[in-house]
């Protein structure tokens, strides 16, 4: 088996649980936040610094690595683990979300998460590719057919075609511990008719992804080194989400991803619909979600894994998480502030061995200076802090499940966070 999943403790009468996910490259204690390393790197951080944040697992992006440096080249170097010098578990997505961002979302500022009160089809963009890349790098239009997707590279305009089988082949070459079936993510504002059409296509692609993956395992003498997760889609439509959860559950996937798109206000309802159907004995990953409120929601409703670029993207931009909410460290109010980013944080940036002679935390004033002076170190320190904050917040949720006090922890944390 490529992975083994054990549930240690469940909520009484609820969906939430704490578990252990074993991979060939190490154990993931769940629920867990998955650090995004889009191009085989967590931007601004070394693998050693990523480990210092408490990260257990990293997720890389199939689309970007396919284009540069190429999956076959990475395979020739021994796979992603050796190539990026990360010895722990690695996940790779399928490239399906890039289909959305290069196609339906291209040039429209459409995000996979929208607000219910937004009447226009033009929505606030979280990131055009939902990956840790600069916004001006996203590529040209993609065309979706029943067989696959044609698109032009955002690097040089070259034409490419990816089918489910190709997506899985690329991920086999990359060598991640957990890979995802090829899917089509739709805009939360698409019509019900198109949502259903895309869902049926995603289901066909899921079956093709699984068949190709299984044939690869057979060619490898039945030795399974990579786990394949199927992805549940269906937008915000209850009937489609439940249909998708039932269909994907019927296939022999090793675990499941819950894909976009969502209306922010009804994300919790969608997750409940899906996780009440997905088999409890297999792990569940909520794709592209990482804000504290959403993490609590997901954990409470049976999600085991999350990934999101927000901590590092915000860190590079100067938006930093604290136990009392986010701050913009560039603001003038912090120019004379000699305190740490967050007095309650024990990350390498806020702690710095405060009990050791000659050591003290990096101050808000120093961080403010770095960002205002456009120094690269600012992004590094901010990213380290934000990653530690989010990763360890989910670890504390796990501990609260094991201790039987998750509701109290959630209530107290969010009360202070929003104070």
pLDDT of residue 155: 85
pLDDT higher than threshold 90 for residue 60 = yes
Q: Which helix (H) or strand (E) holds 96?
A: helix 96-102
More confident position, 272 or 126:
272
pLDDT higher than threshold 80 for residue 121 = no
pLDDT of residue 154: 80
Give the whole-angstrom CA distance, residue 308 versus residue 391: 11
Binding site, annotated residues for Zn(2+): 345, 347, 350, 385
Binding site, annotated residues: 93-97, 183, 233, 260, 345, 347, 350, 385
Q: Are 61 and 93 in contact (CB under 8 A)?
A: yes
* pLDDT tens-place string over residues 262-288: 777 889 999 999 999 999 999 999 999
Q: Where does residue 317 rank: exposed (0-12), middle (13-18), buried (19+ CB within 10 A)?
A: middle
Q: In this structure, are strands 17-23 and 3-10 parallel, antiparallel, or unpaired?
A: antiparallel
State the chain's mean pLDDT as an integer.
89
pLDDT of residue 105: 46
For residue 401, give every residue at least 6 positions away whose Cβ sits within 8 Å of its Cβ, in sequence order, or none: 9, 11, 16, 17, 18, 31, 299
Number of other residues whose CB lies within 10 A of the CB of residue 339:
12
Q: What is the mean pLDDT of residues 110-133?
A: 42
Dihedral-angle region of residue 79 (phi above 0 means left; psi in -120 to 50 means alpha; beta otherwise): left
Number of other residues whose CB lies within 10 A of the CB of residue 381:
27
* pLDDT tens-place string over residues 231-248: 999 988 999 999 999 999
Give the whole-angstrom CA distance, residue 106 versus residue 300: 34
Q: Are 112 and 123 in contact (CB under 8 A)?
A: no
Q: Where residue 102 falls among pLDDT bands split at 50, 70, 90?
A: low
pLDDT of residue 118: 43
For the whole model, what pTM was predicted? Answer: 0.91
Q: Where residue 310 falls among pLDDT bands split at 50, 70, 90?
A: very high
Distance of CA 169 to the CA centre of its chain: 21
Q: Going from the N-terminus, what domains does the chain have, and what CATH number goes with each?
A: 3-308 (3.20.20.105), 319-417 (no CATH)
Catalytic residues: 93, 307
Q: Which of 187-191, 228-232, 316-320, 369-373 has the lowest mean pLDDT?
A: 187-191
The 3-state DSSP composition of the chain as helix, strand, coil percent (nearest 5) reads 40, 20, 45
Q: Which helix (H) or strand (E) holds 383?
A: helix 376-403
Give the whole-angstrom CA distance, residue 31 versus residue 399: 10
Q: In this structure, are strands 178-180 and 32-36 parallel, antiparallel, or unpaired?
A: unpaired
Binding site, annotated residues for substrate: 93-97, 183, 233, 260
Tokens of 119: 């009447």
């Amino acid at each position: 088996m490529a992975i083994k999943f054990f549930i240690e403790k469940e909520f009484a009468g609820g969906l939430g649980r704490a578990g252990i996910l074993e991979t060939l490259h190490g154990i993931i204690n769940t629920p867990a936040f998955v650090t995004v390393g889009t191009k085989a790197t967590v931007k601004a951080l070394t693998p050693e610094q990523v480990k210092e944040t408490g990260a257990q697992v990293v997720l890389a992006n199939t689309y970007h690595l396919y284009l540069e440096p190429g999956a076959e080249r990475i395979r020739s170097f021994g796979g992603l683990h050796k190539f990026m010098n990360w010895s722990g578990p690695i996940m790779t997505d399928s490239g399906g979300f890039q289909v959305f961002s290069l196609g339906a979302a291209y040039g429209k500022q459409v995000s996979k998460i929208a607000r219910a009160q937004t009447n226009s089809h033009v929505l606030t963009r979280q990131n055009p590719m939902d990956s840790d890349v600069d916004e001006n790098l996203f590529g040209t239009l993609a065309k979706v057919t029943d067989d696959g997707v044609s698109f032009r590279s955002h690097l040089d305009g070259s034409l490419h075609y990816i089918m489910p089988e190709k997506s899985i082949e690329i991920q086999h070459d990359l060598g991640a511990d957990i890979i995802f079936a090829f899917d089509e993510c739709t805009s939360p504002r698409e019509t019900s008719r198109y949502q259903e059409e895309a869902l049926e296509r995603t289901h066909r692609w899921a079956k093709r992804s699984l068949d190709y993956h299984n044939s690869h395992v057979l060619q490898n003498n039945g030795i399974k080194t990579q786990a394949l997760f199927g992805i549940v889609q269906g937008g915000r439509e209850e009937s489609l989400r439940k249909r998708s959860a039932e269909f994907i559950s019927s296939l022999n996937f090793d675990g499941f991803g819950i894909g976009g798109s969502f209306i922010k206000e009804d994300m919790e309802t969608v997750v409940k619909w899906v996780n009440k159907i997905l088999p409890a004995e297999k792990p569940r990953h909520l794709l592209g979600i990482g804000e504290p409120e959403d993490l609590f929601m997901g954990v409470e409703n049976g999600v085991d894994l999350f990934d999101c670029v927000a901590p590092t993207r915000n860190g590079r931009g100067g938006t930093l998480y604290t136990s009392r909410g986010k701050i913009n460290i560039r603001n003038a109010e912090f120019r004379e502030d000699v305190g740490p980013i967050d007095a309650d944080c024990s990350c390498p940036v806020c702690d710095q061995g405060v009990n050791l002679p000659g050591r003290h935390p990096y101050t808000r004033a120093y961080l403010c200076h770095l960002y205002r002076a456009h120094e690269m170190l600012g992004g590094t320190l901010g990213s380290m802090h934000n990653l530690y904050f989010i990763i360890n917040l989910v670890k504390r949720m796990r501990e609260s499940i094991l201790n039987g006090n998750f509701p109290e922890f959630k209530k107290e944390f969010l009360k202070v966070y929003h104070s």
